[in-house]
């Protein structure tokens, strides 16, 4: 995390209210277009309103669209989401095609995602599938039939070979080769 | 010249000591004071102020209600929908106002709709759970239903369907009780305007799906699993035998025992714990889960049943083990 993220809300990748398990609910509930009727900065937004807004409203009857003309103020789009998030986006000096893409982005996201710092890129309610570990979890099934004490299960072979032991083995090997050469 | 040559290294050393480009860690020392100042200002104005959304200039109740129905993909009767959103507190407040101004407009609140909706949900959720968890006993089904229809769960659903801003209530933001009540009223309004099948699908899609990713056993607290298990098993005529099948670290803090339950020398379940009695209890719980068909690896609950399940007799559901 860098210092610029100090004020960001944190969260996980989640779908709100099991969206899509039952039926899909568009999470954008209302969108407000604020623009000026005469200023050049609102040109792109005015174009969008003239050409695409009716289609947008027709295709998304679940989104309430408000237009708010404001004299000599910059162009702004505000989206409100079902989870209570509010996305304020300045679209001043943006072109028609840019605005179309941004609004598509607002329509398809599920909240104010750009202001959330994801703690992880995955999420699970059940971090363990197998349940808690017990000493019996990975027990060797051979042990069920073994007669104890047993050399096979009793031997201490967990530690790596010691230096002394290594030397001893090397010495043994050398002795063998000495015998061979003598022959 | 020789003097200068002798002094030069000293001079260079001196110059090096004066830092030209200051390096420091970028610790934002302003963060804590800023947050404290924000908090102080918030306290001064008496907590966060939330303005009701419906007092904004950009607000059209009719459009909001239309969009609400479309959002859920349902055709509500518009007057019923408005009634479902009208809380009792709002009606009282309006009547007081009207008395002052000496005129009367009749307003209906959502109490009747909410009662009707709750009654429908109660029946439907019960039937649905019985259909998708056929081996789960009645008490368990009732406790799962109680969880699903609890105020918190319904309020959460209601909030995420966007009722918070539309609700006509005396206060803002509305509390959980009002949110849950409005959701019940919505179900009631849908029942009156679209009929049984559509309402059933609505309840299935928004209420029953809350069980997704949840363990149904957690909603039902079994006090004494061993007695319950022996009762169930003895009904079939078999007898159950607990055996200690593992013990580790006896007499230490990390002792672990494992108990297996056997019916006719066939293992039914196994459980572990820090003492033998706990392990036996855990094994009994595992066995009950197996009998009820709600193991951890159970098939996910079906959220796609189309029809309203018929109330089948529960006799075959009592025990379906062996």
3-class DSSP string for B116-152: HHHHHHHHHHHHHHHHHCCCCCHHHHHHHHHHHCCHH
pLDDT at B231: 93
Q: Write the pLDDT tens digit of every residue in A125-173.
A: 888 878 889 988 888 888 888 888 888 888 877 888 899 999 999 999 9
Our CA angle for B160, A58, B51, nearest 5°, is 40
User: What is the CB neighbour count within 10 angstroms for residue B182?
Assistant: 30
Distance from CA of A94 to the nearest CA of B (A): 23
**Alpha carbon distance A135, A100 (integer Å):** 60
Q: Tell me whether residues A18 and B212 touch, CB distance under 8 A.
A: yes
Statement: residue A6 has pLDDT above 80: no
Residue A83 has its nearest CB partner, among B60, B160, B205, at B160
State what percent of residues in chain A have pLDDT above 70.
98
B262, B270 Cβ separation under 8 angstroms: no
Q: Which residues of A touch B28 (CB under 8 A)?
A: 3, 6
pLDDT at B6: 66
Say what angle helices B176-194 and B196-206 make with each other, to 10 degrees.
150
pLDDT at B321: 38
Q: How far is CA A106 from the centre of its chain?
A: 19
CB pairs under 8 A between A and B: 76
User: What is the CB neighbour count within 10 angstroms for residue B69?
Assistant: 20
Our CA angle for B64, B70, B73, nearest 5°, is 145
pLDDT at B307: 66
CB contacts under 8 A, A 33-52 vs B, are none
Q: Which residue has the higher pLDDT, A31 or B246?
A: A31
User: Phi, psi (5° rounding) for residue A27?
Assistant: -85, -15
**Alpha carbon distance B84, B103 (integer Å):** 24
Q: How far is CA B143 from the centre of its chain?
A: 14
Chain A contact present for B38, CB below 8 A: no
Q: What is the pLDDT along chain B (322 residues), one digit of tens a residue?
A: 566 666 656 555 655 555 556 666 677 788 889 999 999 999 999 888 888 999 999 999 999 999 999 999 999 999 999 999 999 999 999 999 988 988 877 888 999 999 999 999 999 999 999 999 999 999 999 999 999 999 999 999 999 999 999 999 998 889 999 999 999 999 999 999 999 999 999 999 999 999 998 999 999 999 999 999 999 999 988 899 999 998 999 999 999 999 999 999 999 999 999 999 999 999 999 999 999 999 888 899 999 887 676 555 444 444 433 3
Chain A residue with CA closest to B270: the answer is A136
Q: Tell me whether residues B204 and A61 touch, CB distance under 8 A.
A: no
Q: Tell me whether residues B212 and A62 touch, CB distance under 8 A.
A: no
**Alpha carbon distance B205, A19 (integer Å):** 9
User: Phi, psi (5° rounding) for residue A177?
Assistant: -65, -35
pLDDT at B19: 54
**Alpha carbon distance B301, B174 (integer Å):** 33
B203, B125 Cβ separation under 8 angstroms: yes
- Residue B203's nearest CA partner among B191, B192, B212 is B191
**Alpha carbon distance B150, B268 (integer Å):** 35
User: Phi, psi (5° rounding) for residue B186?
Assistant: -60, -45
Any idea of the CA torsion for B130, B131, B136, B141, to the nearest 10 degrees?
Answer: -30
- Residue A68's nearest CA partner among A106, A102, A35 is A35
Instruction: Please give the average per-residue pLDDT across A108-129, as a whole number.
Output: 89
Q: Which residues of A touch B164 (CB under 8 A)?
A: 84
The tokens of B268 are what? 């039914």
Instruction: Please give the average per-residue pLDDT across A94-102, as a whole number.
Output: 96
Chain A contact present for B70, CB below 8 A: yes
Bridge partners, residue B266, by sequence? B263
Measure the N-to-C terminal CA separation of chain B; round to a whole number of Å.
108
CB contacts under 8 A, A 67-106 vs B, are 68, 82-84
CB contacts under 8 A, A 106-165 vs B, are 125-126, 131, 134-136, 139
Statement: residue A107 has pLDDT above 60: yes
Side-chain-side CA neighbours of residue B129 (13 Å): 29
């Amino acid at each position: 995390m860098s210092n610029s993220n100090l004020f960001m809300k944190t969260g996980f990748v989640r779908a709100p209210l099991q969206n899509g398990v039952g039926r899909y609910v568009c999470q954008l509930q209302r969108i407000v277009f604020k623009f000026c009727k005469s200023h050049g900065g609102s040109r792109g937004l005015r174009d969008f309103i003239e050409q695409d807004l009716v289609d947008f409203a027709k295709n998304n009857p679940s989104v309430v669209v408000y237009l708010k003309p404001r004299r000599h103020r910059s162009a702004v789009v505000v989206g409100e989401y079902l989870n209570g998030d509010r996305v304020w986006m300045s679209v001043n000096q943006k072109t028609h095609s840019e605005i179309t893409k941004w609004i598509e982005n607002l329509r398809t996201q599920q909240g104010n995602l750009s202001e959330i710092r994801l703690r992880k890129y995955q999420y699970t309610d059940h971090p363990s599938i197998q349940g808690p570990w017990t000493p019996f979890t990975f027990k060797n099934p051979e042990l069920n039939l073994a007669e104890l004490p047993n050399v096979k299960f009793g031997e201490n072979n967990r530690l790596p070979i010691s230096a002394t032991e290594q030397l001893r083995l090397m010495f043994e090997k050398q002795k063998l080769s000495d015998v061979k050469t003598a022959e | 010249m020789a003097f200068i040559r002798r002094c030069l290294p000293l001079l260079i050393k001196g110059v090096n000591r004066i830092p030209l480009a200051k390096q420091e860690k970028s610790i934002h020392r302003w963060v804590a004071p800023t947050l404290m100042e924000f908090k102080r200002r918030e306290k001064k104005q008496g907590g966060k102020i939330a303005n009701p959304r419906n007092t904004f200039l950009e607000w059209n109740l009719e459009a909001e209600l239309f969009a609400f129905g479309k959002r859920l993909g349902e055709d509500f009767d518009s007057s019923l929908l408005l009634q479902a959103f009208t809380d009792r507190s709002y009606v009282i407040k309006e009547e007081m106002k009207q008395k002052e101004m000496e005129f009367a407009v009749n307003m209906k609140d959502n109490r009747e709709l909410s009662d009707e909706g709750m009654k429908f949900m109660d029946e439907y959720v019960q039937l649905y759970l019985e259909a998708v968890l056929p081996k789960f006993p009645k008490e368990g089904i009732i406790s799962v239903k109680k969880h699903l229809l609890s105020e918190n769960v319904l309020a959460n659903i209601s909030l995420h369907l966007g009722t918070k801003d539309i609700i006509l209530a005396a206060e803002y933001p509305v509390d959980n009780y009002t949110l849950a009540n409005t959701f019940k009223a919505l179900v009631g309004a849908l029942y009156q305007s679209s009929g049984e099948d559509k309402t059933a699908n609505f309840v299935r899609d928004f209420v029953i799906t809350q069980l997704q990713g949840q363990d149904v056993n957690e909603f039902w607290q079994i006090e004494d699993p061993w007695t319950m298990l022996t009762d169930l098993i003895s009904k079939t005529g078999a007898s159950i035998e607990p055996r200690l099948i593992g013990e580790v670290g006896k007499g230490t803090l990390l002792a672990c025992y494992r108990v297996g339950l056997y019916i006719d020398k066939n293992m039914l379940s196994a459980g572990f714990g820090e003492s033998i009695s706990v392990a036996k209890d855990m094994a009994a719980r595992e066995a009950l889960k197996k009998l009820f068909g709600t193991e951890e690896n159970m098939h996910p609950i079906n959220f796609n049943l189309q029809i309203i399940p018929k109330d089948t007799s529960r006799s075959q559901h009592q025990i379906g083990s062996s």
